[in-house]
Amino acid sequence: MAAIAVAQAASLTSRRVQGPKPSAGAARRVRPVRSAVVDVKSMATEKPWKTHDCRLVLEDGSVWSGLSFGAKGTAVGEVVFNTSLSGYQEILTDPSYAGQFVLFTCPEIGNVGINLEDMESTKAHMGGMLVRHLSLNVSNYRSAMSLPEYLEQQNVIGISEIDTRAITLRLRDTGCLNGVITTDATKTDDELIAMAKGWTIVGKDMISEVTCTEPYEWQDPTGTEWEFAAGAKASTKGSLHVVAYDFGVKHNIMRRLASYGCRITVVPASMPAAEVMAMEPDGILFSNGPGDPSAVPYAVENAKAILGEVPVFGICMGHQVLGQAFGGETFKLKFGHHGGNHPVRGPSGRVEISSQNHNFAVKPNSLPEEVEVSHINLNDGTCAGMVYREKRAMTIQYHPEASPGPHDSDPCFEDFVHMMKAAKREKAA
Which pLDDT tens digits describe the chain residue by residue (429 residues)? Answer: 444 444 444 444 444 434 444 444 444 555 555 545 555 555 556 677 789 999 999 999 999 999 999 999 999 999 999 999 999 999 999 999 999 999 999 999 999 999 999 999 999 999 999 999 999 999 999 999 999 999 999 999 999 999 999 999 999 999 999 999 999 999 999 999 999 999 999 999 999 999 999 999 998 998 888 888 888 887 878 789 999 999 999 999 999 999 999 999 999 999 999 999 999 999 999 999 999 999 999 999 999 999 999 999 999 999 999 999 999 999 999 999 999 999 999 999 999 999 999 999 999 999 999 999 999 999 999 999 999 999 999 999 999 999 888 899 999 999 999 999 999 999 888
pLDDT at 106: 96
pLDDT at 45: 62
pLDDT at 25: 47
pLDDT at 53: 94
Q: Which residues contact 71 (CB under 8 A, 6 or more apart)?
A: 151, 152, 154, 155, 156, 157, 158
Residue 75 pairs in a beta bridge with 181
Q: CA 232, CA 252: separation in Å to the nearest integer?
A: 14
Catalytic residue annotation: 316, 399, 401
Return the amino acid letter for 214.
E
Helical packing angle, 251-259 and 411-428, nearest 10°:
50
Look up the pTM and report it: 0.87
Q: CA 320, CA 318: separation in Å to the nearest integer?
A: 5
Question: Is the Cβ–Cβ distance between 423 and 282 less than 8 Å?
Answer: yes
Burial 114-144 (b: 16+ CB within 10 A, else e): beeebbbbeebbbbbbbbbbbbeebeeeebe
